[in-house]
Amino acid sequence: MLKLGVNIDHVATIREARYRGRTTGEPDPIAAALICEHAGAHGITAHLREDRRHILDRDIVKLRESIKTRLNLEMANSPEIIQIALRIKPEIVCLVPERRQELTTEGGLDVVGNLASLIDTRKKMNAAGIDVSLFIDPDPRQIEAAAKSGAQFIELHTGAFADKFHDANERDKELQRLISGATQAHGLGLSVNAGHGLNYDNLQMLRQVPHLIELNIGHSIISRAIFIGLANAVREMLQLMENYPASS
């Protein structure tokens, strides 16, 4: 069964637009996470950025205390955030690139160029009982390096596929890259997740990508929730994910 991890960063973004610097505010990302769980989400994803632009330290603590499904902590490979992850102990961390000027994570992690430091972080996380995922583009060199790192998962960056979705030729090229990347990763013993830019329109085509275990989706679900409510938005996405082709 293809699993859904709901990214609640955008709930915190709305809160911080009005209540930045305060100890309380709405909407509450923890309440949103619990609604997502109740609606059937298999996990909750949150990105604790170094600049704390949306999710805050207190959110991660409360999430760890409150949710019953898997907590996926997206994070930069930085000493401060590493120590927080080791203290909070999410079920899994997803290491992502992070730039201050970006609106959201743009592009995949350069595993090839940072292999030694990623191996060091992976060992620390695994020793604490935390699985490690690397957010990478569907590039053969990066996938091979991810396998060398000893990470348990990769998360294929689907942003290029989503951006090119309405250009049939470019979309098909990006889809083929995802298919090839997932096939290569699976053959190297990596478990494969995917995410970034996935929505209610492009999700069906992603069914052609084999070996997927979990999709991490945030913006589209939160956007849809404005019109139909968060629980219904999660359920609609889960319905689109039903009957994903099983693969060995």
CB 84, CB 57: distance < 8 Å:
yes
Active site residue 196: yes
Based on the residue annotation, tell me whether 214 is a catalytic residue of this protein: no
Catalytic residue among 10, 54, 196, 211: 196
Of 10, 47, 157, 211, the active-site residue reads: 47
Q: Which amino acid is at 142?
A: Q
- Catalytic hit among 37, 42, 74, 214: 74
What residue has token string 């690139």?
97
Q: Active site includes 47?
A: yes
- Report the catalytic residues: 47, 74, 196
